[in-house]
Structure 1
Amino acid sequence: MTEQSIVSQDMTLKRLFQDFYRVPDYQREYVWGEADAKGEGGDQVDQFLSDIHIEFEAATKHFAPEYFIGTIVVCKGEDQVFELIDGQQRTTTAYLTLCAIRDALTDIGAAVPEELGNQIAASTIDWQGLTTYRLRLDVQYEDAGGVLQGYAEGKAAETPRDGSRSIRNLGGAYDTVREFLSTTFGEDKAQLLRFYGYLTNKVKVIRIETPTIAKALKIFETINDRGVGLDAMDLLKNLLFMHAKGQEFTELKSVWKALTDEIYAVNEKPLRFLRYYLLATFDLDSKLREDAIYDWFQKNPKLTGHTTEPLAFAKRLREAARAYANFSRGKNVLGQPEPGIENTRLLGGQSIKQHFMLLLAGRHLPAPQFTRLAAEVEKTMFVWLVTWVSAKEYERKIVDAAHKLRHIKPDEFDAFIAETFVKERADLAPQFARTMKEMKSTWLRQFRLRYLLAKITQAVDLQAYGPSESRDRLADYTAGGNDIEHIMAAGADAAAIAEFGEHAQDEAIIQSLGNLLLIEKSINRSISNTQYSEKVKSYAQSKFLLTRCQADTTAQLVGVADQITKTVQALDCWPKWTAADVEARQLFLTRLACRVWDVPVVEEVVPA
């Protein structure tokens, strides 16, 4: 082979596993068999075997169709072992299948063909006459933990299945193959051997051998152009290694692993992180799709520096990934509790993460400004969700704000907040007021309704008593120990219905926000669905001031000018409970919500 030659060979698995291979430590892990974030996929191993078996069943005594499983790209090292640059998923799966067939034959008492053993491991002699025993396939990424060797040596029962992603996935793949063989062939030795014969003689790959790793990586990129079979995160990793200097490989591998570990540790999608990072860092249109990310990198190397300084770019990406992972935990950049971020997580659930772009764009702000940014994000996100602003629209607003925030100087921060968040809430104030006045519990998902009531309840407590460990965390209010109480319940008893009067069983009234309050679960269990005049006696036992003041505020007054008294005097109360009172309390909660989420009070919610 000349210095710059590329050799392409069409070969069977029998021929393929006459050579030795290793998956370099900078490659991505073995991922076949792993479901995605939605719990979908994860059946590649079973599909691989099923497709081969379909062709196997079409074979006759005199003819067997060949089956092509794809292309692999390799580069031979000085020790004559091929570096496997592309195709490790199918190659590893084929190798595990050989190990599983050997074990299945052993378990049913059949002789294992010598050829099969040699396809799994063999001895080689170098030019100095030294003998080395090695596996035909060796995976060198750290999180594999040497488990492939356990399967290769016939020690599957002793090989761990728990641990890193690779350990779990390799174990899952091996177990899938064993289950397939057992289900398909049972203890039929002849058929199992026949399947092995078909697999090794008729299943084929195209092996492309290059003279250098750089050229192998370039071919890998070409084969996987536009992300076919791989996503932008995998292709970006390859792109960085393609432009890195040889001496940078070890550090680049370490940086990339740390980056992905940060994201996987919080069950986040790497591609979502990468998209949010780009939108937060560069002046890109919010329409950038995940499947267009790799093309963007290809066209904008000067912006990112990923071709001239791939290691430096990877380090910047890792720093952003660490911050992103902290945001996912409700923390700030340094991993410290950040109420605004934690509260937005309680508000948005697991699906709403667009505000992370703003947090990424502002992660270098001084701590007090970052805390204010997080709080403003929380308030504005709630207003967007309550006023039914579409996800597409508020994502566009977030991206625009992130672009502005990157260029904001410390003395311009207050103006940025006023122009971006305060103005946005003011513009939506009329719609916010109308929605809150008409709000029904069925309009919001349960966790978001809980957030709404908890936030209002917490705000009253904080105003009256000030900060404390038991009041500072909104999560303590939204926790399972507290219930959303329907003051007039759907299944109310006869006494409650008689006391409430007209519209007692009107579902619209029962589900109105004005008919809801937050109360401890232990108290809620004791009051059941009885009449209001009895319920309020238990409400008075609540630790939440807003709930205690539901029917009577006078008992909560302490002095003349103390903060508790001032807070209580600003609260409305309802000694009786009718449809008109539900409406009045909803108006009261609307005014309170405007104060809590810093929305200007419009004329229609000002009391007459």
Structure 2
Amino acid sequence: METQLKTVESQVVPLKTLFSEKFDVDFYQREYVWQRKNIEDLVNDLSTEFLKNWRPEHDFKEVAKYDPYYMGEIVLSVKGDDRNSIIDGQQRITSLTLLLIYLLRNYGTVDKFPAKISTLISSDHYGEDLFNLDIEERRTCMQALKNDGLYIPNEKEPSSVKNLVERYNDIEDCWNEKITNENVVHFAYWLMDKVSFSKVWTNSDDFAYVIFETMNDRGLSLTQIEMLRSYLLANIDDDNSKDKNRDAALKKYDNLVNRLASITLSSNSKAEFDFFKTYLRSHYAQDMSQSKGSTSDFVRIGKEFHRWVRDNSVALNLKTSDDFFDFIVQLDYFATKYEKIYSLIQQRKTDEFLYLIVNSDYSFTLQPALILASINYQDDDKVVETKIKIVSKYLTKVLSWRVWNHTMISQSSMEAKIYDLCKTIRGKTVEELKPYLDSDPIEKIELDNYPTLNQQNNRKLKVLLSLITEIVSAESGKPDYMMNHKDDPTEIEHIWCNHIELHADECGSSAEFSAARNSIGDLLVLPKSFNASYGDDKYSDKLVHYIEQNVLAQSLHFNKYENNPGFIGFIERSGLKFEPYADFKKEQIQKRGDLYKSILEWNWRK
């Protein structure tokens, strides 16, 4: 039998060409593992590159002149049928498919939106609409996301399906607010035509893996951390008679890197790399520009922080051997503060560090940068913890205001604001820091209108409602942060059950009913078990059960206002207008919305 000749070919292709093909993956490769940070980086990188080129006066044809964006290699094994097996690139293809679905769902009705986007997600296959990346266990989920933008996995489905839903929701959270109806068609054409890949394909699975391993073998390349290590150590005297010698510096540097590497970030990023970028940007970067072609401190630290340190040695006061040694000592000091931040988040001691944990629950990844910027070298533990509390409370104020007003809190929408603030709080004492942040340096905080629940903001509103509940609970003497209920998971509960006929006298249409029912004044955070048991009951029937739940639910019942000195004392101190309700109509929803707003405003004034 003649042995088949192994071949390998490659070609640079745009997204629209690659995604017009049909793919599958081998059974042992099927897990989709991207985390929020990966999606955040993808959305941020793509939108930033596009916006460097786009101008309001451009017509669609101008997109052909925009700069391309390279997404790396995709390694395929060509099968005998009409589908190619992905050897390397499944995570990117899956994530970009989710992005295409998001664009289609949210902007597909915009005038002149390219119809081809839909065929890059799924296309006709002998009369059947099949996803171009077709994996059986994902089909139901992907179809629901494409059709409805929503899917609730059941407990028996694999983790990759749950991950698909979470990453799709992350796209909404991370979306760049500068991509709007005005330019989304330009963005869609740029994505299809100017985002490119190196497509590498072979007719042999075995050979495909050889290619994959060769392309990903980093055994000989040094990381930025290792190159910074070499630069710093090379400038320290190798004199063991001195305390500040090269051997001592090496041990201290390696120790801090190893400690950082043990931190697990929810974003799935490597903490040791994140620390160096975060610390150098928050403490030293002057030019924070992220514009096209920028060589700003911010951009260079993100791409090559080891070179940035070398090129800025004078500004960093790195002149003598002792200076370089002391710089490593300083790195070690701030690495311990970075560790402390994540340790406190993991411990979830909301009685002491509520706002630090709330910001983490908002999935706000820029929090450590602002906290590190506020800390001065050799601040003692008491000062550090005080600054963590001051900065995290201010951040919660900003983030909660944005969630309340349906304003984005993604990295792309907040990064410039946060790092500009980093520059202004460097070197401040505790006595200087609090009044400065009380002046609302990022933006004026005003709670306008009322937020309404939708599938995109569900997670953020759950955090906001949990915060409001915790403010009242803690002030009443019984802290009970609902996001800590891991053994009995919580979810948003509508006070109105989903029966429009019960409110026909007030709601003339389903739209009016939904608007009232999804307004924040009609919402609580309660255990899922409660919602499963009583969520479909009318208000008069479930009111008696609210008295057994958290303080915000209890406050609807008359009994809460009897023999509860902690709660009554809080009402008297705060002057907040809590009321029990025998009936719950649109007027009461409005009053509860006013109450929630007042709780937040009172808390910010404390």
Distance 1:511 1:234, change over 3 A: farther
Partner of 2:362: 347
Aligned: 1:462 with 2:474: yes
- Structure 1 residue 408, shift from structure 2 partner: 2.8
Query: What amino acid is aligned across from residue 261 of structure 1 in structure 2?
Result: N
Partner of 2:588: 581
Moved more, 584-593 or 448-457: 584-593
Q: Which ranges of structure 2 fall in alignment gaps of 5 or more residues? A: 1-32, 43-70, 79-202, 215-219, 240-244, 290-297
Match of 2:492 among 484, 487, 507: 484
Deviations 1:409-453 (A, max 9, x none): 4xxx4444223334448x623xx321xx23112286433212111
Partner of 2:444: 428
Kept in 2: contact 1:362–1:405 (CA 8 A): no
Q: Which ranges of structure 1 fall in alignment gaps of 5 or more residues? A: 1-33, 51-179, 187-191, 200-219, 221-228, 600-608
Query: Equivalent residue of 1:301, what SS?
Result: coil
Match of 1:557 among 557, 562, 570: 562
Moved more, 474-483 or 277-286: 474-483
- Structure 1 residue 485, shift from structure 2 partner: 0.2
Query: What amino acid is aligned across from residue 329 of structure 2 in structure 1?
Result: K
Kept in 1: contact 2:539–2:584 (CA 8 A): yes
Distance 1:566 1:185, change over 3 A: closer
Match of 1:233 among 222, 225, 232: 225
Distance 1:453 1:592 in 2: 11
Distance 1:320 1:419, change over 3 A: closer
Aligned: 1:300 with 2:297: no
- Structure 1 residue 457, shift from structure 2 partner: 0.8
Partner of 1:547: 553
Aligned: 1:326 with 2:326: no
Distance 1:446 1:402, change over 3 A: same
Kept in 1: contact 2:236–2:325 (CA 8 A): yes
Partner of 1:453: 465
Q: Calculate the TM-score normalised by the size of structure 2.
A: 0.52
Query: Equivalent residue of 2:438, what SS?
Result: helix
Aligned: 1:536 with 2:543: yes
Kept in 2: contact 1:305–1:313 (CA 8 A): no
Distance 1:285 1:182, change over 3 A: closer
Kept in 2: contact 1:256–1:318 (CA 8 A): yes
Distance 2:560 2:283 in 1: 55
Aligned: 1:407 with 2:410: no
Distance 2:534 2:484 in 1: 22
Matches within 5 A, 1:185-334: 232-246=224-238, 248-266=245-263, 267=265, 268-269=269-270, 270-282=272-284, 284-287=286-289, 288-289=298-299, 290-291=302-303, 293-306=305-318, 308-309=320-321, 310-330=324-344
Query: Equivalent residue of 2:344, what SS?
Result: coil
Match of 2:529 among 522, 528, 531: 522
Deviations 1:159-207 (A, max 9, x none): xxxxxxxxxxxxxxxxxxxxx9993499xxxxx9xx9xxx9xxxxxxxx
Kept in 1: contact 2:366–2:415 (CA 8 A): no
- Structure 1 residue 360, shift from structure 2 partner: 4.3
Distance 1:360 1:328, change over 3 A: farther
Distance 2:558 2:370 in 1: 39
Percent identity of paired positions between Structure 1 and Structure 2: 14
Distance 1:439 1:479, change over 3 A: farther
Kept in 1: contact 2:376–2:427 (CA 8 A): no
**Count of residue pairs brought into register by the alignment:** 380
Distance 1:320 1:340 in 2: 21
Query: What amino acid is aligned across from residue 484 of structure 1 in structure 2?
Result: I
Kept in 2: contact 1:453–1:518 (CA 8 A): yes
Aligned: 1:572 with 2:573: no
Query: What amino acid is aligned across from residue 298 of structure 1 in structure 2?
Result: R
- Structure 1 residue 393, shift from structure 2 partner: 6.9
Distance 1:499 1:546, change over 3 A: farther
Distance 2:311 2:428 in 1: 28
Structure of greater Rg: 1
Higher relative contact order (CA 8 A, sep 6+): 2
Q: Calculate the TM-score normalised by the size of structure 1.
A: 0.52
